[in-house]
Structure 1
Amino acid sequence: GALAELVAAGKIGHVGVSNYDTVQMEEFAATLPVETVQPPYHLFRREIEAELLPYCRARDIGVLVYGPLAHGLLTGTLTPHTTFAADDWRGASSVFTGDTYRRNLATVSALATFAGELGITVSQLAIAWTLANPAVHVAIVGARQVVHVQDSLGATEVWLSAADLAEIETIMAAATPVAGPSPEGM
């Protein structure tokens, strides 16, 4: 209700939500239409494909996904020996330790090989894959260095064919799905 008042007063132009599922979006829409949603989405975390993305596409709701590089997993820079800072949640996460981590690093290596065949980086492949979904409008990519920004921008020039997408699916068949922390847990 407060957001509807702000829109009516001209103080804000648009309203979006973050980490909402379809039930929450329906509840929100009883007061004000949802214009955008911001969910996590990457090659290892695809649960939004089942319900949220079709829901948004059918209702013309903008989708701004975050985390397309899977918290660094899809950069191709992590190894089984990578250590994380004491305040980095990944150091205590089963996603970044043990058998799941090693298995997913092997999947990233296979993706990197395929990306190399296409003349791109594995990061660009991961971002381009995310943007290839017709329900996704924007991929929010974090970066710690200018070179990371430049690499990510290169993904906007990548077009993945149906055969490329099928090859990515084949590679991902060996992966273990992963999630990250909720924003509240970071």
Structure 2
Amino acid sequence: MEYRKLGNTDLEVSVITFGAWAAGGWMWGKTERSDAIEAIQAAYDLGVTAIDTAPIYGQGTSEEIVGEAIKGYARDKVQILTKFGMRWDLTKGDFGFSSKDNDGNPIDIYKYAGKESIIKECEDSLKRLGTDYIDLYQIHWPDSTTPISETFEAVEKLVKEGKVRYAGVCNYSAAQMAEAEKTIRLASNQIPFSMAKRDVEKETVPYCIEHNKSVLAYSPLERGLLTGKMSAGYTFQEGDHRANNPYFTDESITKTNAFLSKIKPIADDKGATLAQLVLRWTVDRPGITVALAGARNAQQSIQNAKAADISLTSEEISFINKELDKM
């Protein structure tokens, strides 16, 4: 496994980081709790020491699973990355969207990052995770109803109390990052990035490179689209958010698979899967520090972790990029 520092901190994380959204089940169809725990532990055995989760993932379920999975591990050998700012139990802030919890009950999601909410969320997360500190605490989405300074004054308080080591953001623009930096030193920005979604390279990634902020790429496999395992007419489980996502229309899947067929020989030459090739390309992209890769079982988790063992030549990267530009 390869490890990289987050920004200008002393926190080193695995380039393949375990993304625990799907582990919580919410919006992905059901996930077996025991399978999710085994997936995290199998990844750890291969050097995946960083785990990214959030309270909203299963309304606490994902954090509980992470806490159970790492119980017994030396705490300083695991990096816990979690978030705040999405409430399903409070009607404050920006209304996000309506959803259903894992039991099928309707819930409304709000983006809220007021000071009192952050303090409460941190305490709740620490209990679910079974730890007394969080390595990287990230705002999940911007909240237009709360001043950025108020949000990060609360996080700074948590840092001083030792409950949080470093602050990060998710889905922030370059301008929002600059505003937050007036209050606290940020380590990172977690943003959507994949072969199919590269718009963040126009402004946000360059800002992070210039200011030595790490980029945590989420959905690097575009939620399964870039694995090559989908075909037109694919049927999703009930409750899977991808069912109505424009990336998963028959036309999009067909177009993507045509591209993947062109780069598959590179994966074959390395004895790798397409997903592993895509993950390696992601962490080799300028400015990208780690790729968050989700898994619902140990087999998927092991495959993701082994992506770090692949190496790409400059010629191979150039070929992939040229084919990508044609897509």
* TM-score, length of structure 1 as denominator length: 0.87
Partner of residue 261 from structure 2, selected from 106, 109, 132: 109
Deviation at 1:114, TM superposition (A): 3.0
> What is residue 184 of structure 1 aligned with on the other side?
none
The one-character-per-residue Cα deviations of 1:45-88 (angstroms, maximum 9, x if unpaired) are: 11121221121111111222111111101112111131112311
Partner of residue 227 from structure 2, selected from 52, 75, 100: 75
Structure 1 contact 57–135 (Cα < 8 Å) conserved? yes
Q: Unaligned 5+ residue runs, structure 1?
A: 176-186
Deviation at 1:130, TM superposition (A): 0.7
Deviation at 1:29, TM superposition (A): 0.9
- Does residue 18 (structure 1) correspond to residue 170 (structure 2)? The answer is yes
Deviation at 1:16, TM superposition (A): 0.6
Determine the C-alpha separation between the residues in 1 that align with 2:191 and 2:320: 21
- Does residue 91 (structure 1) correspond to residue 240 (structure 2)? The answer is no
Structure 1 contact 17–34 (Cα < 8 Å) conserved? yes
> What is residue 289 of structure 2 aligned with on the other side?
137
- Does residue 3 (structure 1) correspond to residue 155 (structure 2)? The answer is yes
Structure 1 contact 94–101 (Cα < 8 Å) conserved? no
> What is residue 45 of structure 1 aligned with on the other side?
197
Deviation at 1:113, TM superposition (A): 3.2
Determine the C-alpha separation between the residues in 2 that align with 1:86 and 1:11: 38
Q: Which has the higher helix share?
A: 1
Quick one: which amino acid aligns to residue 46 of structure 1?
A: R
For residue 288 of structure 2, give the secondary structure of its aligned residue in structure 1.
Answer: coil
> What is residue 301 of structure 2 aligned with on the other side?
149
Quick one: which amino acid aligns to residue 27 of structure 1?
A: E
Determine the C-alpha separation between the residues in 1 that align with 2:187 and 2:227: 31
Deviation at 1:142, TM superposition (A): 0.4
- Does residue 171 (structure 1) correspond to residue 314 (structure 2)? The answer is no
CA RMSD after TM alignment: 1.5
Q: Which moved more, 1:104-113 or 1:51-60?
A: 104-113
Query: Structure 2 vs 1, CA of residues 80 and 98 (structure 1 numbering), >3 Å: closer, same or farther?
Result: closer
The one-character-per-residue Cα deviations of 1:113-143 (angstroms, maximum 9, x if unpaired) are: 3321333211111000111024222111001
For residue 137 of structure 1, give the secondary structure of its aligned residue in structure 2.
Answer: strand
Moved over 6 A (4+): none
User: Which structure's CA Rg is the greater one?
Assistant: 2
Quick one: which amino acid aligns to residue 221 of structure 2?
A: L
Quick one: which amino acid aligns to residue 206 of structure 2?
A: P
Q: Which moved more, 1:156-165 or 1:7-16?
A: 7-16
Determine the C-alpha separation between the residues in 1 that align with 2:162 and 2:297: 37
The one-character-per-residue Cα deviations of 1:2-30 (angstroms, maximum 9, x if unpaired) are: 11122223332110111111011011111
Deviation at 1:32, TM superposition (A): 0.9
> What is residue 33 of structure 1 aligned with on the other side?
185
* TM-score, length of structure 2 as denominator length: 0.51
For residue 90 of structure 1, give the secondary structure of its aligned residue in structure 2.
Answer: helix
Determine the C-alpha separation between the residues in 1 that align with 2:294 and 2:161: 33
For residue 144 of structure 1, give the secondary structure of its aligned residue in structure 2.
Answer: coil
Quick one: which amino acid aligns to residue 183 of structure 2?
A: T
Determine the C-alpha separation between the residues in 1 that align with 2:222 and 2:302: 18
Determine the C-alpha separation between the residues in 2 that align with 1:154 and 1:13: 28
